[in-house]
Amino acid sequence: MRSAVVRGRSRTIDAGPYEVRISAGLRSEFASIIATVAPAHCYAVITDDRVGPLHAGPLMDALASHGRPTLHTMPAGEAHKTRDTWARLTDDLLAAGCGRDTTVVALGGGVVGDLAGFVAATFMRGVPFVQCPTSLLAMIDASVGGKTGVDTQAGKNLVGAFHTPAAVLADVELLATLPVEHRRAGLAEAIKHGVIADAGHFAELSESLPGLLAGDAASTLDAVARSVEIKSSVVRADVREHGLRKTLNFGHTIGHAIEHESGYALLHGECVAIGMVLEARLAERLGIAEEGTAERIERILLRAKLPVARPESLSAEQIVGATRLDKKARSGSAEYALPARIGEMANAESGWSIAVADAAVLEVLA
């Protein structure tokens, strides 16, 4: 990662009750910031078996000057974002002697953040936690907004809690070790932020795409910062997802259904990419989106080498069936957050989402 030029450049975004700090090289300050924003007797660092060996060592060493650090490692991957892993991590903390005076630190991607956040939300009825995202997806999206949770057999994120982090600390240099397909997957959520709220961000992402894919630190820092600004302003306006926050679900009704039905063989961002194209196409058919919206989204995703079509192994019927398991499904019908055009979402008058009949979705999926 070419980061020398951006060393020292940093961005701090006020996400309401907490700050998101983004810079190249921030990891050397992780421990001291954690100890300042969420001082505790015990610092329980939760990571996975991919990220831990790469990045946990220096953090544990640095935390030792501020309290008692304990390390808790889960297997990597969405398939492990379960109640069982949550229970095992909780028991691990208890066995390590962590009490109420504990701060949980999530060091990893979106899965680690969601799980560690749910551990923190429920450990002794709630202890503070700090997010140290190590994937582009987690920096851009998952670590911001206070949603925590796990999947069940019945679907994604069906069990969880809102639990606001004390801080989100993103060091874009940590992305140097991120596999390129994870970098692509992260960009899907950045592109989503452009579609739902900011045509300028969409255009900038399109322009800086080569640099972003190559791991250029300056472009990455800018893209992460703008995405976090968009997401956190949406979340601040509607923490509990009664209205505006639903716009963040663009691409996710179909995306989650594909992710679940594929048995988590596809990355979350890949599923969202497919979901955005199909849902934008659906919006066009329903006369909700400007013509060409889906095509513009498809074009940038293809340039990012992200998938844009339903996997052949899954039938249209299977995917529509799985949308019914979505949290956003009400009274038996699935809800969609749909765009009006790049940079603007539709259906403000009905709380930013509408119920769509299965038949219309099946047509688009066929």
- Out of 124, 203, 218, 265, which residue is the one contacting a copy of itself (CB under 8 A)? 124
| Binds a copy of itself by CB under 8 A, chosen from 209, 265, 316, 329 | 329
Contact range with a copy of itself by CB under 8 A, out of 21-29, 90-98, 193-201, 285-293: 90-98
CB of 58 or CB of 126, closer to a copy of itself: 126
Q: Using DSSP, state whether 155 is helix, strand or coil.
A: strand
Per-residue tokens: 177: 């070790």
Residue 254-293 contact track with a copy of itself, rule CB under 8 A, x = bound: ----------------------------------------
List the one residue out of 235, 236, 256 whose CA is nearest residue 246. Answer: 235
Could you give the CA distance from residue 365 to residue 131 in angstroms, rounded to a whole number? Answer: 36
Going by C-beta distance under 8 Å and a sequence separation of 6 or more, which residues neighbour residue 326? Answer: 155, 156, 253, 256, 257, 334, 335
147 binds a copy of itself (CB under 8 A): yes
Tell me which of 332, 349, 359, 366 binds a copy of itself, using CB under 8 A: 332
Which one is catalytic: 231, 260, 281, 341? 231
User: In Å, how far from its chain's centre is CA 264?
Assistant: 15
Contact 355, 306 (CB under 8 A): no
CA-based max dimension of the chain:
60
Q: Which of 226, 268, 328, 341 is catalytic?
A: 268
**d(C-alpha 21, C-alpha 364), whole Å:** 40
Under the binding rule (CB under 8 A), the answer on residue 328 touching a copy of itself is yes
Closer residue to a copy of itself (CB): 286 or 329: 329
What three-state secondary structure class fits 8?
Answer: coil
Restricting to residues 199-228, name those near a copy of itself by CB under 8 A: none
Can you tell me which of 1, 54, 76, 158 binds a copy of itself, judged by CB under 8 A?
158
Q: Kindly calculate the radius of gyration of the chain based on its CA atoms and give it in whole angstroms.
A: 20
Structure tokens at 215: 């791991």
Report the alpha-carbon distance of residue 101 to residue 277 in Å, rounded. 46
Least Å from the CB of residue 127 to a copy of itself: 10
Stretch that binds a copy of itself, among 9-17, 186-194, 198-206, 330-338 (CB under 8 A): 330-338
Phi, psi of 10 (to 5 degrees): -150, 155
Which alpha helices (DSSP H) does 174-216 contain, by range? Answer: 180-197, 199-214
Smallest separation (angstroms) from a copy of itself to the CB of 148: 8
Tell me: does residue 179 bind a copy of itself (CB under 8 A): no
Does 321 bind a copy of itself (CB under 8 A)? Our answer is no
The owner of tokens 């992200």 is 306
Distance CA 34, CA 127 (A): 13
| Contact flag: residue 154 with a copy of itself (CB under 8 A) | yes
Number of residues that bind a copy of itself (CB under 8 A): 38
The minimum distance between CB 295 and a copy of itself, in angstroms, equals: 33
122 binds a copy of itself (CB under 8 A): yes
Q: Does 58 bind a copy of itself (CB under 8 A)?
A: no
Q: Which residues are catalytic?
A: 125, 147, 189, 231, 241, 245, 249, 252, 256, 268
